[in-house]
Structure 1
Amino acid sequence: MWAFVQKNKNDIIYLSLLLFSVLIGPYYRKLKTEEAKKWAGTILGIALIIIVSGYSAIHPICSALIGVIIIKVTTIRYCHVATFFFMFAYLFFFRFADKFGFKLSSGQTNLIQMIIVLRVIGVAFEMNGSWLAVVNPKKKGNEEISKINDRDEEFIELINPNIIDLVHYSFNYIGLLTGPYYRYRTFNDFFHLPYSKYVDCLGFTINTLKIVPLYISLYLAFSHIWPLEYVLTEDHNNRSFLYRMMYPWVLFAAFRQRIYSGMTLAESVCTSAGLGAYPVQGRNRTGHGPTVGYMKLKNILWRCGVVRRLSL
């Protein structure tokens, strides 16, 4: 047992942090003010990065801060291009750090770095997209504006958060460890729209978590009966051809259970905190939010019976 714990220490710590993020959700949701929620989420997110990554935390933290600065220094017209090239250039350096004389980071840190890249580049594209769809068409006359109204105005307002809000979005603990990715607009609505107060966050979270024990049990069973290390032994090489051909399939099945458990816990972090709660009338899309009638959803307080979470 102790040997198993030592072998899977990093995964156990990682899953424990995901469980902690799920459990803290109801308390986070009950924070009174918007500023308290934003700062608490950011501080908790940075703390999780440091716990998981150690000294390697400098990579996601520094890259996110520099990316945010680039967004604000460049104009909204070109911020997405500049941010895209910087973040992927840094990701290239991060993935091949050993070629530059630095130590490679763990797989868990790699996941966090990928989420940071998605968030920073994603918000830059959101800002540019809102500018193109809202501000720029006004220069071309009423016909262009009418076309935007006909498609229900995906960007009905200019998205241009200040540098502090960009930092909060980049480091908020919800979805930071494993995902899922959600847009800045969904993140901003979490603080300004009241729908999360009317959704059964606990019920959704419990319903999502029910399957996790099965995933973990299958992973432990597969890993115990068909361990990965056995592939490197001489006994494995002496097995029949069919056995050696089928063994990777069992290892892949075990790996899938590990991924499923992590992703299910990550989704539960969102439902526990109430992120992504919108009325069903918005025809919500994963990580995106409402696809129709967004302005109405912002102005109308729906009753509890028509509110549900966004499936992330």
Structure 2
Amino acid sequence: MCHLCAIYITCPFYRLGTHLDWVWGPPGPPALGRALRRVRWAPALGALGLLVGRAWPAGAALRPDFAARAWPARLAHMVPVFLALRLRLYVGWLCAEAGCLAAGLGAYPKCARARPGQGPTVSWERPKK
């Protein structure tokens, strides 16, 4: 996944100022180690999502015999279907966050006192490119 795709997936979770600092500011420090630590659970969650999705397929709810089941049985089927969906979303979010980390989005010096999701909290001198 390209870095811009990762940023578009996570766009509601950071401020415009952080984006502009990333685009117009100097490149951030390499953060490949942090990105790999962030994405380390993605293969396990993806495999679990595939297993749950195969055991309880969402398409089963479209079959005519599904409506004939009792209400608790239909609800019991939908819980693992929802779990499989959530696991796939978690994998996407983890990969998008790792892409943003690797691209240096939100990497500020310590003097900026940056807070997660808010960017710098004090005025700081931006170095020239």
The answer for unaligned runs of 5 or more in structure 2 is: none
Q: Please list the CA deviations of residues 171-195 of structure 1 after superposition, one character each: whole Å capped at 9, or x if unmatched.
A: x55512x12333332123224245x
Post-superposition offset of 1:276: 0.7
The structure with more helix, counted as a fraction of residues: 1
Look up the match of 2:18.
186
Q: CA RMSD in A?
A: 2.3
Look up the match of 1:143.
none
Structure 2 CA distance for partners of 1:275 and 1:179, relative to 1, 3 Å = same
Given that residues 180 and 266 in structure 1 are in contact (C-alpha distance below 8 angstroms), is that contact kept between their aligned partners in structure 2?
no
Given that residues 6 and 97 in structure 2 are in contact (C-alpha distance below 8 angstroms), is that contact kept between their aligned partners in structure 1?
no
Look up the match of 1:113.
none
Given that residues 52 and 81 in structure 2 are in contact (C-alpha distance below 8 angstroms), is that contact kept between their aligned partners in structure 1?
yes
Look up the match of 1:285.
116
The residue type paired with residue 273 of structure 1 is A
Post-superposition offset of 1:260: 0.8
The residue type paired with residue 229 of structure 1 is G
Structure 2 CA distance for partners of 1:252 and 1:173, relative to 1, 3 Å = closer
TM-score normalized with structure 2 length:
0.80
Identity of aligned residues (%): 28
Look up the match of 2:123.
294
Structure 2 CA distance for partners of 1:244 and 1:173, relative to 1, 3 Å = closer
Q: Please list the CA deviations of residues 73-123 of structure 1 after superposition, one character each: whole Å capped at 9, or x if unmatched.
A: xxxxxxxxxxxxxxxxxxxxxxxxxxxxxxxxxxxxxxxxxxxxxxxxxxx
The answer for unaligned runs of 5 or more in structure 1 is: 1-19, 23-171, 301-312
Look up the match of 2:37.
207
Given that residues 49 and 88 in structure 2 are in contact (C-alpha distance below 8 angstroms), is that contact kept between their aligned partners in structure 1?
yes
Structure 2 CA distance for partners of 1:279 and 1:269, relative to 1, 3 Å = same
Larger radius of gyration: 1
TM-score normalized with structure 1 length:
0.36
Structure 2 CA distance for partners of 1:192 and 1:283, relative to 1, 3 Å = closer
